[in-house]
Every structure is written in C-alpha cells, then in structure tokens.
Structure 1
C-alpha cells in the first residue's frame, strides 16, 4: 500500500479527477477546491492519495486553515487507510484542526485519531448535502426581485459575511482584511446574488466552486429583522433557477440541526444525497 503526497496539483488531479468526475455531486467540495488549488487560489495545500497495486483507495486534501477533506474510494480498506494517513500526518508534523467527510468516514477517522494522538473530536456541524436538478415552480415566492451584488453592496456583504459565520457557529477562517479582499473578488466575479424588496436588500446567496456540470450554493443569509418572511427560500429558489440555466445541477450543504432551512430547501426541490459532518479535533 502506497501513500503518495503531491506538490503538484496537476499531478494530484491526474490521480483524483477520474473518480471525482464520476461522483461530481457527492464530492463537489473536494473537486471544487482542487480546481481552486490548480488555479493558485490556496497557499500550502496538502494533497495525498493511497493506492494499492494500481487501485485508488483514498484521497485527502486540505487548504489550511480549512478542514482535512477525506474520501475513501474503497471502503473495505478504510481502516488501514486511516492508520496509514494518520501515521504520515504525525510523522510529518502536519497540523489538522478539523476534518470534513461522509459521516461514517469522519467518525471512523476521529476514533483512530484519538487512539493515536489522544485528541478527541467535537462536532462543528452535522451536515446534509443536497442536490437540485429543477426548481419546484409551485412554491410561493416573496415579493421583490434578485440582482447581482455590485461595488456599492460590498460593505453590506462584508457585514453579512461576518454575521453568517457567527450564525453557523464556525470559527472564522479569515480576518477582516481577508474578508474585504474575498468579498471584492466575489462581487467582481458576479458570484453574490441579492434579493431586494421595495428598494431594500433583504437576503443573499453565493455561487461557489463551479465544476463541469454543477455548482454550489453557499452563504445563504437573511438578517434577523427580515427573517420569517420567505426571503431566503425565494432567494435560493430564484438564484438556483438562474444557475440551472448554465449548470445541470446545484448542490448545497445544510445544518441538519436546523429543521427550518432543511424544510425550505426541500420545498424548492433540493434532495439530500449524503450525510456529512464537520468535526473539530481538540488539542
């Protein structure tokens, strides 16, 4: 069994892409980030695979400070793959603050990690990954219309970005200056959708990680004073419908502990395809 770490994203892609492209929806996060690495959008990425006699067994990817993303191609070899990658991470002193993966895979990794490091795992988000192929046109839409965010919206989008991180309970991965730069790129690339009603911006969503056939919907946010008016559902429905003009499908991650958001997305037409979990590894 061979553990291979890659310095070249193109070399890693040659190994990973055939599998990822066959599972473009389920592993859209891994695939989208890999494309970002190839474009130079991440510093010091960790990329590795495990193979045995020419068979791909597992893939690993991390763009610090983001979580280690784990895929087991051959689940029958999962336990030995976990032992091998953990030993390599420890040997090379590669810090891992959190992991994201299918729920069973993530908890199996966390159990082995605790055995070998003494560090336990706590849940950051119990997630469901949903896919949409067609918006249900029968859903009730809130009044207003969508538009792309522009330069004049940057301060608002920055503020909502910070509030979104607080609402989700996730540790911030960017400081204020980095958020400003990130939001500018998002706005310049027409990735941010806003819903307006009576001249007031009331909700937003973001287009993220486009792949050959699909795209991710993320950063869905409505300020507290505008909630319970259907704006989030309307924004995601309208934005997703626009994205489906270009892509075959949309995917999004939801917090499974938030029944309201899960109900909203299902009403739009999103259907859950896998259970995922984001775990923090305690120091």
Structure 2
C-alpha cells in the first residue's frame, strides 16, 4: 500500500477520495454525509486520512485509494479499509491525534483498528454497539397505525432535543447536549425532521441530506410510553418514501443488533442488510 495523506480540508479530501467513496455510497453513507457537512461549514472541523494503494494517494476518480478514515469530534472516527489498511490508518492517526477516543466501521475493519490502538497505547477497547447497516429502494407499506406523519417545526425543538439526548443515551452515541441542539436545529431548518402525531407527538425520525443518491434515516426515537404501537414503522416508511420521491436512489439506516425487534421491523419495510458495523470506545 502507498502513502497516507492526512489533512483538515474537507474539500481536498473529497477531491482525492470522493470517487472511491461514491462507488459504494450506502456503505460509505456516514463518511459521505460527514464530509458534506464539513464542506458546507455546518460541522465543527475534522481530520481526514487517505491510505493510497500502490499507485499513489488518490485522485478525483477514486483511483489510487485503498481506504480512508474520518474523525469529526465529538464523534468517533469512522474507518473504511481492509483490515491491514485499517491498522495502518490507526497507526498514522494515533501518531498525530492521541486523543482520538473511538472508532466505527465494518466489523472486521473497526476491530483491526481498535486492536492496533490498544497494542500501541496499552489502553483498553470496548464495544459501544454492534450494528447492522441496511438499504432500501422500494418501501413495503406497513400495517396502518393511528395518527399521521408531519414535518417538525420550531415549536417542536425542545422536545426533539430531549428525545435526541434520550436516543443517544440508549444507543451509546452520547456526543452531548450542544451537539444534539445543533443537529436538531439543522434538521428542522432543512425540513429533515419528522414526527408522528397520535393525540400528540409519538415518534421522531430524522434523515440526512441526500449525498451520492443516498439518504440515511437517523435517529429513530419513540418514547418508552408510546412504543409497541407501530409508530416507528409508520414514520420510517413515510420518511423513506418521501426521500425516494424527492430523488434519492436508496435509503439507509443502522439498527442495534441487540434489538431484534427493530431489525424485524425494518426488514418488513423492505430494508435489506448490507454489512455489520461495530463501534468501539477507547480508554487509556
């Protein structure tokens, strides 16, 4: 494998690795939307790394790229590279950014990254969540549920911030209140926050911007006292159909493998598994 390029310029990273990422836009949805957010100035700054293959460190059509990693604090780094490439990226980023505190990626790739980090720091790694990435191009309508979908507005902001924090606590994401507020504000401003109403708000679904033809559904949150009534199924179906109607080629979402119910729900809507993804937390 070739050299590693590391930089803080999201636009340069896109020019070097964008073509490679877009070859598998569902698998790289998180990376593509992270880069899109930073390019638009809607993020808080990031670190971008490219592992070159034998021909170099990449150009605009994706040739020469063997893997990438992106870290946009306070989120974990996200890696996409064969395990041996993930190990090289881990070493390169550890050398420059010792405070990097976690990684997410396809299961064997993230495991390779985490293993190298632990071996070179003496720290410990633990699994924050085992996930499954799904994709959909045709919605299978669920059974009707009472209520209706609507886009969220400014009046819903405080509730959605509280629900986002609750979702993060349940899912071990936990980037913090300030990030939850920023995410909700952007979702509402872009009309990408949706709610299911049934005698009041019953469920919340957000969706990413469509990048490379893919929109990613997240978060999906139903408060505990409103669960098991079909609200999440109905709202995810409605949102997925809306983004497909608006021009997305496919929708993507992640599920928690520890929650078999959600996996069955989304499969019933037409979502198909793409890859298993693991998130790790690092502790020195």
TM-score by length of 1: 0.91
State the partner residue of 1:18: 19
Structure-2 change in CA distance of 1:66 and 1:232 (3 Å): same
Stretch of structure 1 that moved more, 150-159 or 122-131:
150-159
Mapping of 1:52-201 within 5 angstroms?
Answer: 52-54=54-56, 55-72=64-81, 75=82, 78-79=83-84, 81-137=85-141, 139-170=142-173, 172-175=174-177, 177-198=178-199, 200-201=200-201
Give the deviation of 1:48 after TM superposition: 1.1
Q: 1:85 to 1:180 in 2, by over 3 A?
A: closer
CA drift of 1:131 comes to 0.3
Mark the runs of 5 or more structure 1 residues left unpaired by the alignment: none
Q: In 2 relative to 1, CA 153–278 (structure 1 residues): closer, same or farther, beyond 3 Å?
A: same
Structure 1 108/179 Cα, relative in aligned 2: closer, same or farther at 3 Å?
closer
CA contact (8 A) 1:33 1:209 kept: no
Residue by residue, what CA displacement relative to the aligned partner does 1:184-230 show, whole Å, maximum 9, x if unpaired? 222121111111123x1111100114213110000111111111111
In the comparison of the two structures, how many residue pairs are matched?
274
Contact 2:134 2:275 in 1 (8 A): yes
Change (3 A) 1:197 1:14: same
- Cα distance between partner residues in 2 of 1:20 and 1:82: 15
CA distance in 1, matches of 2:129, 2:179: 23
Q: Does the 8 Å contact 1:125/1:277 carry over to 2?
A: yes
| C-alpha distance in structure 2 between counterparts of 1:193 and 1:269, whole Å | 20
Contact 2:67 2:86 in 1 (8 A): no
Please tell me whether the aligned partners of residues 29 and 209 of structure 1 are also in contact (alpha carbons under 8 angstroms): no
Secondary structure of the 1:244 match is helix
- Which runs of 5 or more residues in structure 2 are unaligned? 57-63
C-alpha change, 1:169 and 1:93, in structure 2 (3 Å) is: closer
Q: Which moved more, 1:121-130 or 1:6-15?
A: 6-15
Aligned to 2:250: 249
SS at match of 2:100: coil
State the structure with bigger RCO (CA 8 A, min sep 6), 1 or 2: 1
Check the 8 A contact 2:136/2:250 in 1, yes or no.
Answer: yes
CA distance in 2, matches of 1:93, 1:241: 41
Residues 83 and 108 from structure 1, CA distance in 2 versus in 1: closer, same or farther, beyond 3 angstroms? Answer: closer
Residues in 2 aligned to 1:212 and 1:49: alpha-carbon distance in whole angstroms: 19
Partner in structure 2 of residue 232 of structure 1: 232
How far apart are the structure 2 equivalents of 1:214 and 1:221?
21
Alpha-carbon offset, residue 272 of structure 1: 0.6
Q: Call closer, same or farther: CA 1:83–1:220 in 2, change over 3 Å.
A: closer
1:214 aligns with 2:214: yes
- What do you get for the CA RMSD once the two structures are aligned? 1.6
Deviation at 1:70, TM superposition (A): 0.8
Distance 2:93 2:6 in 1: 11
Which whole-Å CA distance do the structure 2 matches of 1:90 and 1:131 have between them? 32
